[in-house]
Amino acid sequence: MGYGLLAAAIAAEVAGTTAMKYSEGFTRLWPSLITVVGYLLAFSLLAQTLKTMSMGTAYAIWAGIGTAAVAVIGILFMGESGNLVKVAGVVLVIAGVVVLNLGGAH
């Protein structure tokens, strides 16, 4: 259950961050509302996740996977550069999350 809630929290945070790009500094209503709702939902779900997972592990996974996902979305859909260094950084973030889980995240 904890990992399912955490996945939903990550999805909400990624949606909120992506909408923030389209809010143009919170000057556009709908993307701004999606940003606020996305972050409220993300933090609410993360708080529920912390009932069953350790704080350090849950936050590291949430932040790491969210960061990697937003970077990939930027590269694939928003025309951001996808150079080798950036791709290596995303791979390292994901590897860090995997290592953290292998090291006793349960």
What are the residue ranges spanned by the domains of the chain? 2-102
Q: What is the structure's pLDDT at 25?
A: 97
Please tell me whether residue 79 adopts helix, strand or coil conformation: coil
Q: What is the structure's pLDDT at 41?
A: 98
Which helix (H) or strand (E) segment holds residue 69: the answer is: helix 55-77
Q: What is the structure's pLDDT at 102?
A: 80
- Give, for all 106 residues of the chain, the pLDDT tens digit: 899 999 999 999 999 999 999 999 999 999 999 999 999 999 999 999 999 998 988 998 999 999 999 999 999 999 999 999 999 999 999 898 888 878 765 5
Of 98, 48, 42, the closest CA to residue 68 belongs to 98
Q: What is the structure's pLDDT at 23?
A: 97
Q: What is the structure's pLDDT at 62?
A: 93
